[in-house]
Structure 1
């Protein structure tokens, strides 16, 4: 029974971690756009977005990432045979990519807290979709578990990626016209 509680908590913290990752990059986009505003809007918006980012990042996103890792490690420790399943190797590769994404978001967070403008809002919008693509991949891997279905899921993943890129470009064009 304790195993089900650990699994449930693992899923809950995955959800809160992804919520944090999805929203933090959205805040990065707003912070970046605020840097282009004239004063006093630039300072007022920038300061408020920095506070929001800091609270989200350190109160929700980081703790969720750490607790997710701890709970996932407990499950692997309890059932080491899971590591013999081929789909788990693929899943754990995507999980590693997600942690790399998280650390890169930490770098973006630090830059924006210092008002550094290294990326455009369009580049950040594209960056925002990476966690979505990782989520889609992991869900397909965990639910489908076998290679043939995973390949179909990967093709679907690529189609979603293409659709997201088209959507971002379309949104940018519509926004530029308005």
Structure 2
């Protein structure tokens, strides 16, 4: 009886799962963009640097704790509820690949927390250009995960993933050109 009730809720679980991952990705995109700006604080006038660092750190913690992390848990909760109501999906290759990508994305999420801590301490090892590249990483995850969920054919996904990698390389080339243009301005 419980399975029948939960199966009828599947569509709602799916809707909340989508809301969760959209919010999670929005948080990750914004968070890493702030890493870029935080890394560029040293280019600002001396009298502004301490205040700007403090403000970026405050904003980063808020996005991480109030938006990105709750959204990650929300996404996982409703994704797991979907799997619970339809466990046969776990036998398909695409969901296994998606779950691996999601685990790597969770690693990226907590890597971002470490970046916040390091920037707060003033010991960040990455520069603004490297953060700009890091900001494109969730885009690749987003495209790969959505394509897997929609296409579901693993062979087609492999072709699409090749396209995603080419897209990622194009983003890298664009970022390098943008950096060169900014340096020459």
Q: Same fold (TM over 0.5)?
A: yes
Count, aligned residues: 178
**Of the candidates 8, 11, 31, which is equivalent to residue 18 of structure 2?**
11
Asked if 1:116 corresponds to 2:123, the answer is yes
In 2, are the aligned partners of 1:35 and 1:115 still within 8 Å (CA)?
no
Q: 2: distance between equivalents of 1:111 and 1:120? A: 12
Q: 1: distance between equivalents of 2:167 and 2:47? A: 40
Q: Give, in angstroms, the shift of residue 151 of structure 1.
A: 1.8
In 1, are the aligned partners of 2:115 and 2:124 still within 8 Å (CA)?
no
Q: 2: distance between equivalents of 1:3 and 1:151? A: 28
**Of the candidates 73, 76, 79, which is equivalent to residue 86 of structure 2?**
79
Q: 1: distance between equivalents of 2:58 and 2:93? A: 43
**Of the candidates 42, 62, 70, which is equivalent to residue 69 of structure 2?**
62
TM-score of the aligned structures, taking structure 2 as reference length: 0.92
Corresponding residue SS for 1:40: helix
Q: Give, in angstroms, the shift of residue 50 of structure 1.
A: 1.5
In 2, are the aligned partners of 1:21 and 1:102 still within 8 Å (CA)?
yes
Unaligned stretches of 5+ in structure 2? Answer: 1-7
In 2, are the aligned partners of 1:137 and 1:154 still within 8 Å (CA)?
yes
Q: 1: distance between equivalents of 2:34 and 2:99? A: 28
Asked if 1:44 corresponds to 2:51, the answer is yes
Q: 2: distance between equivalents of 1:131 and 1:119? A: 17
Q: Partner of 2:101 in structure 1?
A: 94
Q: Give, in angstroms, the shift of residue 147 of structure 1.
A: 2.4
Q: Give, in angstroms, the shift of residue 36 of structure 1.
A: 4.0
Q: Partner of 2:32 in structure 1?
A: 25
Corresponding residue SS for 1:163: helix
TM-score of the aligned structures, taking structure 1 as reference length: 0.95
